[in-house]
């Protein structure tokens, strides 16, 4: 270790002690000492990341056991030993010195010595330099929030101070051992309609889309909720994005990772770990300009790239090879005479850095302005919050366009009059929307459904095609049994197909002793593959309440889903009328066999039950927000939650699931399917579909897990014929603990009450009152979270309960609605 120089040694030895959260011109901070914010939330001191021998001055969370660095002073100038000193010099600068008294880092801003400068660590995580008599942000001579590292904390600004030219952005570490600025940065481009870009070095790799008054058009899931508020400020002085947390007990941060992801992390007390709450880029269409100029990316179709209407691939050969980077060109060049526009809905707006923006224009004025400018390619509203207003005009190529199932906004693309006439002669505007949706749905079903085994069996021809008896020899599906469309589609499906003989060998030819259950789909068999892997085989029964459509639906929806709380589909096998799905085997069976069994439910401790509740919530959040499709399960119940060897929950049975758009849009169905006792009232009675249907089912399931009682068939008294009503009564009377399963011991009181409250919040009668699953996870996993008071649950009149079956049968539209409940 190097020796301290004499001046620095004398300064260190005789420096007075310093205040708990701040430094003054008469104090200093040595390696081994720390500053702690007043509320004990953040800590500032010296640290070594990972296995690095170097020392850095940084800020981290004081109360979180996993040291998480949120800011570093000397990222590019590490200390080589433990002799660093942080001090305020006589000239008012805050500086970091090494053992030779060399300045490794400085604020570059100074406070007059006569003003008694103070460097203070605030509870927000902001480290500020200010005069003693000043404490407002406007008076800060310097603040760490203006110089982020890889993390954006609540209240920090991501963007520009246009008056001073200060650009606040976050950049990744080089590695877990090296916090110096890495290859990735996330920053605001203030030109045109400002938007956020993720860069690799100087190359754009992801764009947020412009702010449209509600959210960034390319991040439809970024919405305010019970826990977060998002703000975007753009004026002549500054342009920036920031966020705040509504619930003080939630700990969250936004960061750029070393692998090039922008992720929102939330600390969950229940798991004692950081959980990824949101992440971008998450799919192929999140990559910047994935489909080139005038190309549209849609991750729900294959191939993902298509051309805007009125355009064709610029390079058909590359396009056929799934390389859409060259983009598209006009079929008919514009002659600027009689041009018009085609409306594209649910779009991420193109890159706006070269676009012109006029916030004062109406949308009609915007259209006229575009028509008068022969260079104009497209226009859109700049602000869709509270109605469309403002104008964005593109006079350059349209790049980085994406289509969403839900979210995004309208984009008006300019086309030649002859091209518009050609389009209009083929179908009306409404017809076009129907065709687009139909093609997407059909292609999804085709790719992920019935064509599966055709490709497999095309390779294995024999002279006969024996019928499948269940114990006969391995059979195959000959090519002539598949349509050309199915054969082509099967080549796109990235899902393994099992030979029939493998399934027969694994299940001992579907021997009775291999059968482990029976569901709406049909019998389920346990098997073991040659490599020793245990599998579960769902075999579609001829008498099944689910048919080929449900089979195709399940394959389509779950084939691409990967989450620790969803049962993993390993593959399928199809032969003539036989359809089988092969899943990973869950050794502890379904949740209902535990919680509703007098002998087994005592095996589930409270900790087991809490982990199960939280795991189911995570699985639903993935389906609703983070998966490739936005999915409503529609049949969430205890029997459709399976438990692995460690009792971790996995949601199963996607035969009734539906792809869905934006959660603000409610669809209506004439075929109500699901299970009595778990169906939300608006769905059971009016066929209204939204993700809040699953939230209601989750609420019921939480109350069942806590009580060990079924919602349907629960009769505490004549006044309370279901579990929800009983739980609601106990809540109002302050007796919620009476709901608990009597076999439970070693309870975490606040955790139990929080779960009951969350269950009741999810089971509220009005869909709009029910929380989103993102908020549910926060409420469940955050200790001392301030939860809203629940309102009356569904199927409760206040004086008694209304049975769901009675509601359905009393509905006037029953003759037009098919009810399938199990």
- pLDDT, mean of each 10-residue run, the chain (822 residues): 43 48 92 95 96 96 95 96 93 91 89 79 94 69 96 97 96 96 96 95 95 88 77 94 82 94 87 83 89 91 87 90 90 87 94 94 94 94 87 96 86 92 64 40 37 37 31 31 41 64 90 81 87 88 56 63 86 76 89 89 90 94 80 91 93 81 55 83 86 94 94 61 89 91 82 93 92 88 81 63 39 33 43
Cβ-count burial 121-157 (b if 16+ within 10 Å, e if not): bbebbbbbbbbeeeeeeeebbbbbbbbbbbbbbbebb
For CA atoms 303, 305, 309, 311, the dihedral sign is: negative
Q: Which domains, and CATH codes, for the chain?
A: 1-146 (2.90.10.10), 148-282 (2.90.10.10), 290-426 (3.50.4), 446-584 (3.30.200.20), 592-821 (1.10.510.10)
3-state secondary structure (DSSP) of residue 780: helix
Angle at 245 between CA 242 and CA 248, to 5 degrees: 150
For CA atoms 493, 499, 505, 507, the dihedral sign is: positive
- Strands (DSSP E) found in 111-177: 117-121, 127-131, 142-143, 151-152, 158-161, 166-168, 170-175
Question: Could you tell me which of 710, 677, 684 has the C-alpha nearest to residue 807?
Answer: 684
What phi, psi does 265 have (nearest 5°)?
A: -105, 145
pLDDT of residue 134: 55
By CB atoms closer than 10 A (0-12, 13-18, 19+), residue 371 is middle
3-state secondary structure (DSSP) of residue 421: helix
pLDDT of residue 135: 60
DSSP code per residue over 592-650: HHHHT-TTTGGGS-HHHHHHHHHHHHHHHHIIIIISSS-EE-S--SGGGEEE-TT--EE
pLDDT of residue 17: 42
pLDDT of residue 642: 93
Rounded CA-CA distance 245/589 in Å is 39
Cβ(314)–Cβ(404) below 8 Å: no
Name residues whose C-beta falls within 8 Å of residue 528's C-beta, 6 or more positions apart in sequence: 506, 534, 535
According to DSSP, the residues that pair with 673 across neighbouring strands are 820
Rounded CA-CA distance 594/91 in Å is 70
Only one residue has tokens 């053992």, namely: 99
pTM of full prediction above 0.85: no
If one counts every other C-beta atom within 10 angstroms of the C-beta of residue 174, the result is 14
Cβ(744)–Cβ(605) below 8 Å: yes
Strands 534-539 and 523-528, sheet pairing? antiparallel
How many residues are there in the chain? 822
Instruction: Spot the catalytic one: 400, 635, 662, 663.
Output: 635
Residue 772 per-residue DSSP state: P
Q: Is 430 a catalytic residue?
A: no
DSSP code per residue over 435-499: HHHHHHHHHHHHHHTTTHHHHHHHT---S--PPP-SSS------GGGS-HHHHHHHTT----B--
Name residues whose C-beta falls within 8 Å of residue 700's C-beta, 6 or more positions apart in sequence: 677, 678, 711, 723, 724, 759, 762, 763
């Amino acid at each position: 270790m190097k020796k301290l120089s004499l001046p620095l040694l004398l300064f260190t030895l005789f420096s007075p002690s310093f205040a708990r959260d701040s430094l003054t011109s008469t104090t200093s901070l040595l390696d081994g000492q720390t500053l702690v914010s007043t509320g004990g939330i953040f800590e500032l001191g010296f640290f070594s990341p990972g296995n690095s021998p170097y020392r850095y001055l940084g800020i981290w969370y004081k109360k979180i056991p996993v040291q998480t660095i949120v800011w570093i002073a000397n990222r590019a100038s590490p200390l080589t030993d433990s002799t660093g000193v942080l001090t305020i010099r006589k000239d008012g600068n805050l500086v970091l010195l090494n053992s030779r008294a060399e300045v490794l880092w400085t604020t570059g801003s100074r406070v007059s010595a006569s003003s008694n400068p103070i460097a203070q660590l605030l509870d927000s995580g902001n480290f500020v330099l200010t005069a003693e008599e000043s404490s407002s942000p406007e008076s800060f001579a310097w603040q760490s929030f203006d110089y982020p590292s890889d993390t954006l904390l609540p209240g920090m600004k991501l963007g520009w101070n246009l008056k001073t030219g200060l650009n606040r952005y976050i950049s990744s570490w080089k590695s877990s051992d090296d916090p110096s600025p890495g290859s990735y940065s996330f920053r605001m481009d203030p030109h045109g309609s400002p938007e956020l870009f993720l860069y690799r070095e100087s190359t754009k790799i992801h764009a947020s889309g412009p702010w449209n008054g509600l959210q960034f058009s390319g991040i439809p899931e970024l919405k305010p909720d019970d826990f977060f508020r998002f703000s975007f400020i753009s004026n002549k002085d500054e342009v920036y994005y920031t966020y705040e947390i509504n619930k003080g007990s939630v700990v969250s941060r936004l960061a750029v990772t070393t692998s090039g992801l922008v992720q929102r992390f939330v600390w969950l007390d229940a798991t004692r770990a950081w959980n990824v709450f949101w992440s971008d880029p998450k799919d192929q269409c999140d990559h910047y300009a994935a489909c080139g100029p005038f190309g549209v990316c849609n991750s729900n179709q294959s191939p993902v790239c298509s051309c805007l209407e009125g355009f064709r691939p610029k390079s058909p050969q590359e396009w056929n090879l799934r390389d859409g980077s060259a983009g598209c060109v006009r079929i008919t060049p514009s002659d600027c005479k009689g041009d018009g526009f085609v409306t594209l809905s649910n779009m991420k707006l193109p890159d706006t850095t070269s676009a012109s923006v006029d916030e004062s224009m109406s949308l009609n004025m915007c259209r006229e302005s575009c028509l008068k400018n022969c260079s104009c390619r497209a226009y859109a509203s700049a602000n869709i919050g509270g109605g469309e207003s403002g104008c964005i005009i593109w006079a350059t190529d349209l790049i980085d366009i994406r289509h969403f199932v839900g979210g995004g906004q309208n984009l008006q693309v300019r086309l030649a009059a002859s091209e518009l006439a050609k389009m209009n002669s083929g179908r009306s505007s409404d017809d076009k929307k129907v065709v687009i949706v139909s093609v997407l749905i059909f292609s999804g079903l085709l790719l992920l459904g019935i064509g599966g085994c055709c490709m497999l069996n095309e390779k294995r021809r024999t002279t006969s095609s024996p019928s499948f008896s269940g114990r006969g020899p391995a059979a195959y599906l000959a090519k002539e049994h598949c349509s050309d469309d199915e054969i082509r589609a099967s080549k796109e499906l990235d899902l393994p197909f099992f030979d029939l003989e493998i399934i027969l060998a694994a299940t001992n030819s579907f021997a009775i002793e291999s059968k482990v259950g029976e569901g709406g789909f049909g019998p389920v068999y346990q098997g073991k593959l040659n490599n020793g892997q245990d599998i579960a085989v769902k075999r579609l029964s001829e008498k099944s309440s689910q048919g080929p459509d449900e089979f195709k639906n399940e394959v389509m929806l779950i084939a691409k889903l990967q989450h620790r709380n969803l049962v993993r589909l390993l593959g399928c096998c199809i032969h003539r009328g036989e359809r089988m799905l092969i899943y990973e085997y869950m050794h502890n069976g379904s949740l209902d066999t535990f919680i509703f069994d007098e002998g087994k439910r005592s095996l589930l401790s409270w900790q087991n039950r809490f982990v199960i509740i939280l795991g189911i919530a995570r699985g639903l959040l993935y389906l609703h927000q983070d998966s490739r499709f936005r999915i409503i399960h529609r049949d969430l119940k205890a029997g459709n939650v399976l438990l692995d060897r460690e009792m971790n929950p996995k949601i199963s049975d996607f035969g009734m699931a539906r792809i869905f758009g934006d959660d603000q849009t409610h669809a209506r169905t004439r075929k109500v399917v699901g299970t009595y006792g778990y169906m939300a009232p608006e769905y059971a009675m009016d066929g209204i579909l939204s993700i809040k249907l699953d939230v209601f089912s989750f609420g019921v399931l939480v109350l069942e897990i806590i009580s060990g009682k079924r919602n349907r068939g629960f009769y505490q008294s004549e006044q309370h014929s279901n579990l929800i009503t009983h739980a609601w009564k106990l809540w109002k009377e302050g007796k919620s603990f009476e709901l608990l399963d009597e076999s439970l011991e070693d309870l975490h009181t606040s955790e139990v009450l929080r779960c009951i409250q969350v269950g009741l919040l999810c089971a509220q009668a009005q869909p709009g009152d029910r929380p989103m699953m993102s908020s549910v996870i926060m409420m469940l996993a955050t200790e001392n979270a301030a939860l809203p008071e629940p309102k009356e649950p569904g199927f409760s009149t206040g004086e008694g309960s209304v049975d769901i079956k009675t509601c359905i049968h009393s509905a006037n539209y029953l003759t037009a609605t098919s009810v399938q409940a199990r």
